[in-house]
Amino acid sequence: MASCVALGDPDYPALLKQIHDPPPRLYVDGRLPAEPMIAIVGSRRATPYGQRAAHRLARDLSEVGVVVVSGLARGIDAAAHRGALEGGSPTVAVMATGLDRIYPPEHAELAQAIAQSGAVITEAEPGTPPLPGRFPVRNRIISGLSLGVVVVEAAQRSGALITARMAAEQGRDVLCVPGSIENPLATGVHQLIKDGAKLVQTVEDVLDEFSELSRARARAQARIHARTRARTRADSFWPFGSCLIG
């Protein structure tokens, strides 16, 4: 069931409250998680590589208890939400439209799945259509909710780069997944890395960047050690009763 959270309410996200222009109210379908959040954003026209990278990173973050935030758009956003849902932690989708105007419309089922464990949120009044000017404004909420923003595929002129710029203005860290030098959707990402954004290859690269994610880092390390022990046991196992044929 949808609700409205005003700026002065105790349930209003603490990090979002700190930006210079926080939304006066948020319309929420679901429940806003209290756990730390990381945004994953990128191109709507994502390549299969970009979608795989976003999905895997979101799933790995979700598996250790980090909430993934994105914008419910086609491409990287949808891949990130779906990966986060697989990981078991809530995910948050920030829309530019009213809650009753899911955009793109083919993501209505995805939005419903997100709201069941996490939240679909917007500052737009009910009935607000997908007006182009509302999407850049929406992006400040994606970055404002998050400790940092991970960019996966972005051309030189891209909404994801607007989110990255807003994140930097808000004092948030910007991180990037590198792409192929032959991919035009990697040009914006590579420029961000040249400008000082941290390069991300694994979930550990994200977790190591934020002291607030120390618990998630410990959980990730425990998973790595468990997998290593399992592989070691498997490598050392030799079936009884086997024989060598000369």
The C-alpha atoms of residue 12 and residue 38 are separated, in whole angstroms, by 17
Looking at the DSSP bridge assignments, the partners of residue 25 are 6
Residue 182 in tokens: 């032959």
What pTM did the predictor assign? 0.89
Q: Residue 109 and residue 72: Cα distance in Å, rounded?
A: 11
* CATH for 14-217, options being 1.10.760.10, 3.40.50.300, 3.40.50.450, 3.40.50.2000: 3.40.50.450
d(CA 100, CA 29): 10
pLDDT per residue of the chain (246 residues) written in tens, 0 to 9: 689 999 999 999 999 999 999 999 999 999 999 999 999 999 999 999 999 999 999 999 999 999 999 999 999 999 999 999 999 999 999 999 999 999 999 999 999 999 999 999 999 999 999 999 999 999 999 999 999 999 999 988 888 999 999 999 999 999 999 999 999 999 999 999 999 999 999 999 999 999 999 888 888 878 766 766 666 665 655 454 444 433
